[in-house]
């Protein structure tokens, strides 16, 4: 095989991100053969925009094609399990956006799943979903590539090199993804998002900390250091009475049965800890950060914001339509645009790893074990917040 032939699934935000970041590989290591989307017109315009030869509105037609090696799942999270299993059965390798899956309600018609269903049950059901995917992937001998870009972000890979050379022990990790709130409609309700801030935003830093301790364990003992328990608290800060009275809202506030704030403490087998914060009510542009306190060093990973560029404008119109940073409220004052935000966030590196994993028949750096670990930790966090106690994770 000299090129990987990809079928794109989905044609909106995440699909756009993937196509943009595959651009340097296309023609050399990758052919994007077709795209499928629920909406045929949208699939057609996406195909035109990115010069993809074929488009469909039925996933089964994509799976039937013999000239597709990999499906790239950029569909809503509640479809990841079903679409992954179908891909595996059709002997296609899978790129799957984060998070792997979750609990969305049995009937999909249930209202306010987040307020009515026990989180312990959600944890069990979500893990069953992960295991069904794992089983299908193993049985059909295909690769599952988990699109967690943090693992590939250059500041994060530099952190890994520093951890390796320092030989220190990771004692304490403090990680965060926050911004002023998703504008996607699906994010408002548990039955379409599978959770709130911890699930949509926290999945990235949780993936990051699990991967780091895994990495440290391999370096020191030849086996991963796993998470052993989780404690958490969640909240709906945009329901605070005084906030509700404020006329002008700078943060998204239409959350239904999902949290807009969460914090979780992950306790690892070696008794080191990681704290993960995520919030949909933080102003000032997206925050993707990780502070790592080693026994002999400190590393602050600033994916966003970082200060490769520091720019100032007395009024917002001065920078016109030029992109500054995700979820930034104003272009006035001092700001910190990234010279190449996709690159700093690890998207092209992630996709290159996946393409090479297929080309050279090796495992990707971010695979199904990480994807499952993230779901387990996050749903254990929800269970902890609901029950007010530490949740022990099951040993496999
Ligand atoms: N890694 C990241 O930074 C990142 C960023 C954004 C979104 N995501 C993840 O990507 C996934 C998709 O998010 P999004 O924001 O692009 O969602 P979206 O709602 O913008 O797009 C979903 C796409 O799925 C398609 N789709 C839905 N049902 C389908 C069906 N039955 N058959 C074929 N296509 C179908 C829709 O037509 C649409 O094109 C989510 O899991 C999300 O968590 C990841």
Task: Give residues with Cβ within 8 angstroms of 342, minimum separation 6.
Answer: 17, 20, 21, 348
Q: Determine the Cα–Cα distance for residues 146 and 373; give it in Å rounded to an integer.
A: 11
**pLDDT tens digits, one per residue of 206-248:** 999 999 999 999 999 999 999 999 999 999 999 999 999 999 9
**CB of 354 within 8 A of CB of 368?**
no
Question: Hey, is 186 helix, strand or coil?
Answer: helix
User: Which residue's structure tokens are 């599978």?
Assistant: 194
**CB of 180 within 8 A of CB of 102?**
no
Task: Give ranges for CATH 3.40.50.720 in the chain.
Answer: 4-149
Position with higher pLDDT, 108 vs 300: 300
Please tell me the predicted confidence (pLDDT) of residue 329.
93
**CB of 207 within 8 A of CB of 175?**
no
Mutate to test the pocket of ligand 1, among 8, 10, 57 (most ligand atoms within 8 A of CB): 10
User: No. of H helices and E strands in the chain?
Assistant: 14, 15
Q: Are strands 4-9 and 70-73 parallel, antiparallel or unpaired?
A: parallel
Task: Give ranges for CATH 3.30.360.10 in the chain.
Answer: 151-349+376-392
Provide the mean pLDDT of the chain.
96
Q: Tell me, in angstroms, the distance from the centre of ligand 1 to residue 96's CA.
A: 10
Structure tokens at 241: 């009475």
In DSSP notation, 135-162 reads HHHHHTT--EEEE-GGGG-HHHHHHHHH
**Level-2 CATH architecture, domain 4-149:** 3-Layer(aba) Sandwich (3.40)
Q: Tell me, in angstroms, the distance from the centre of ligand 1 to residue 12's CA.
A: 6
**CB of 323 within 8 A of CB of 337?**
yes
Q: Tell me, in angstroms, the distance from the centre of ligand 1 to residue 309's CA.
A: 31
- pLDDT exceeds cutoff 80 at 262: yes
Which residues lie with the beta carbon below 6 Å from any ligand 1 atom?
Answer: 9-15, 36-39, 59, 74-77, 79, 97-98, 147, 149, 184, 186
**CB of 104 within 8 A of CB of 78?**
yes
**pLDDT tens digits, one per residue of 370-382:** 999 999 999 999 9
Residue 204 pLDDT grade (very low, low, confident, very high; cuts 50, 70, 90)? very high
Q: Tell me, in angstroms, the distance from the centre of ligand 1 to residue 74's CA.
A: 4
May I ask the CATH class of domain 151-349+376-392? alpha beta
Taking CA atoms only, the protein residue closest to ligand 1 atom 21 is: 12
Please tell me the predicted confidence (pLDDT) of residue 394.
82
Q: Determine the Cα–Cα distance for residues 288 and 176; give it in Å rounded to an integer.
A: 6
């Amino acid at each position: 095989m000299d090129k990987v032939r990809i079928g794109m699934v989905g044609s909106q935000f995440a699909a756009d991100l993937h196509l943009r970041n595959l651009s340097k590989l296309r023609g050399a290591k990758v052919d994007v053969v077709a795209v499928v989307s629920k909406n045929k017109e949208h699939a057609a315009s996406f195909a035109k925009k990115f010069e993809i030869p074929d488009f469909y509105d039925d996933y089964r037609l994509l799976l039937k094609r013999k000239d597709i090696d990999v499906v790239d799942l950029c569909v809503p999270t509640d479809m990841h399990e079903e679409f992954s299993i179908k891909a595996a059965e059709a002997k296609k390798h899978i790129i799957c956006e984060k998070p792997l899956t979750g609990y969305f309600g049995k009937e999909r018609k249930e209202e306010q799943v987040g307020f009515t269903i026990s989180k312990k049950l959600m944890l069990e059901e979500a893990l069953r979903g992960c295991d069904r995917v794992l089983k299908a992937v193993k049985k059909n001998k295909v690769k599952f590539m988990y699109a967690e870009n943090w693992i590939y972000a250059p500041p994060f890979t530099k952190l890994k090199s520093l951890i390796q050379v320092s030989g220190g022990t990771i004692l304490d990790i403090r990680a965060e993804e926050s911004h002023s709130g998703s504008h996607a409609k699906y994010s408002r309700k548990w039955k379409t998002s599978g959770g709130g801030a911890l699930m949509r935003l926290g999945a990235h830093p949780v993936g990051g900390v699990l991967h780091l301790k895994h990495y440290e364990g391999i370096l020191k003992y030849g086996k991963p250091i796993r998470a052993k328990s989780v404690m958490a608290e969640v909240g709906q800060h945009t329901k605070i009475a005084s906030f509700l009275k404020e006329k002008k809202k700078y943060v998204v506030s239409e959350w239904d049965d999902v949290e807009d704030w969460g914090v979780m403490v992950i306790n690892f087998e070696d008794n080191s800890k990681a704290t993960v914060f995520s919030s949909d009510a933080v102003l000032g542009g997206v925050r993707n950060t990780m502070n790592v306190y080693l026994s002999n060093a400190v590393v602050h990973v600033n994916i966003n914001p970082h200060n490769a560029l520091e720019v100032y404008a007395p009024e917002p119109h001065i920078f016109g339509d030029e992109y500054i940073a995700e979820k930034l409220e104003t272009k006035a004052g001092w700001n910190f645009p990234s010279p190449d935000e996709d690159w700093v966030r690890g998207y092209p590196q992630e996709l290159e790893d996946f393409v090479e994993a297929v080309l050279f028949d090796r495992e990707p750096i971010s695979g199904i074990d990480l994807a499952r670990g993230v779901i387990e930790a996050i749903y254990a966090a929800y269970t902890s917040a609901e029950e007010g106690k530490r949740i022990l994770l099951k040993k496999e």
